[in-house]
Structure 1
Amino acid sequence: MRVGRLVKAHGLKGAIKLELYTDDPEGRFVPGATFTLQVPASSPWHGKPLTIREFRWMNSHPVAFFEGVDDRNAAEELIRAILWIDEDTEATPAEDDAWFDHQLVGLEVVRDGVPIGRVIRVDHMPAQDLLIVRTIPDASHGDAREVLVPFVKAIVPEVDVEGGRVVVTPPAGLFEDLAADDEDAEPVAEPGDDR
């Protein structure tokens, strides 16, 4: 499971700012926790694990120190690396309305009782998470496309992992193009127009 991305060296002693992909940073980034790195094959860190030494908040930003990363140069080598952990598939999120990404990916997306697509991934953005939905091609919408659905209760009121579906109540225009104004409509008479 993806838990974070290393975004910027911080200071001179090897600290790195993190972009978090977890709701439990204090539980994931404990001293001794080891991560698998997603880095280019050309990186000196390719194929090596990364173990956390210290995690703290600095000016409301999550910052971590890692074993073997003792200066800014070493930290710079890790920028843009994605941190992965082996997930306990038996574990369940602490919150009732929280799911792991792997539980959501593959779920059928249903609107008004009709399947309209499938969740293909979850993007974790600063403001909110997004469900990336690949639509089912049909006559009215054409080819399949990817739609970014804000993962909020108002738009995704129901997640049924066991039933294999999520129910959506999207605003007009999220899954389809809005109809253009009808050009054949009667013109509105201006005040004082005697026609």
Structure 2
Amino acid sequence: MDLVIGRVVKTHGVRGEVVVDIRTDDPATRFAVGTTLRGRAPRQAGGDESEYQVTAARMHSGRLLLSLEGIATRERADELRGTLFLIDAADVDSGDDPDEFYDHELEGLPVSRVDGESIGTVREVLHLPGSDLLAVVTPDGREVLIPFVAEIVPTVTRDHIEIDPPDGLVDPVED
């Protein structure tokens, strides 16, 4: 499984720099000079993967600017617009803290009520401005959005999530 660590938003200047929207908690390491990045072109551009060597990296107005080997013109840099920089999920570990998880570590975990009743499986973790949500697919195919807060999700382990939902959050509405 691939994780996105950044996305090329646009070009910067005329010498081939690209503006990158950072999607990693460790940009200094992931985008360090000398690092080889795996990039996937947008679907409309074919979705092909290529490797890019970082030759320079700097912050500018809250965004990361990268120079990549072989990308020396604005036109060439503009061809990278929408490219996703990826890493293999197996290369990432949330560490020893029992209360910290990466999204990919939660996706696919079974979810049950604190009384043991199965609810479904985490499909995705959604990060919204108000709060994070767990998108859980139930055995009958419905998707249930569960606020990822301690009051509703009291237990998260490496292999299971327990929830204590208020009435009506998980159960379908009956007419």
Residue identity in the other structure for 2:135: I
- 5+ residue gaps, structure 2: none
Q: Which residue of 2 aligns with 1:57?
A: 59
Verify the 8 A CA contact 1:130 1:151 in the aligned structure 2: yes
Q: Which has the larger radius of gyration?
A: 1
Cα distance, 1:43 vs structure 2:
3.9
Q: 2:30 aligns with which of 28, 45, 49?
A: 28
Q: Which residue of 1 aligns with 2:105?
A: 103
Larger relative helix fraction: 2
Cα 1:117/1:27, change in 2 over 3 Å: same
Deviations 1:60-114 (A, max 9, x none): 223322222223222221122211123555x532572332343222101123332
Superposition map of 1:14-163 within 5 A: 14-40=16-42, 43=45, 46-89=48-91, 92-94=93-95, 96=97, 97-113=99-115, 114-123=117-126, 130-137=133-140, 144-161=141-158
- What's the TM-score, normalizing by structure 1? 0.68
Q: Which residue of 1 aligns with 2:160?
A: 165
Deviations 1:1-57 (A, max 9, x none): 422222222333323232333221222111122222222577488332122223322
Cα 1:48/1:99, change in 2 over 3 Å: same
Cα distance, 1:178 vs structure 2:
6.3
Cα distance, 1:118 vs structure 2:
0.5
- 5+ residue gaps, structure 1: 138-143, 181-195
Cα distance, 1:117 vs structure 2:
1.3
* Separation of aligned partners in 2, 1:93 and 1:43: 33
Relative contact order (C-alpha < 8 Å, sep 6+): which is higher? Answer: 2
Verify the 8 A CA contact 1:21 1:124 in the aligned structure 2: no
Are 1:175 and 2:170 matched, yes or no? yes
* Separation of aligned partners in 1, 2:152 and 2:10: 34
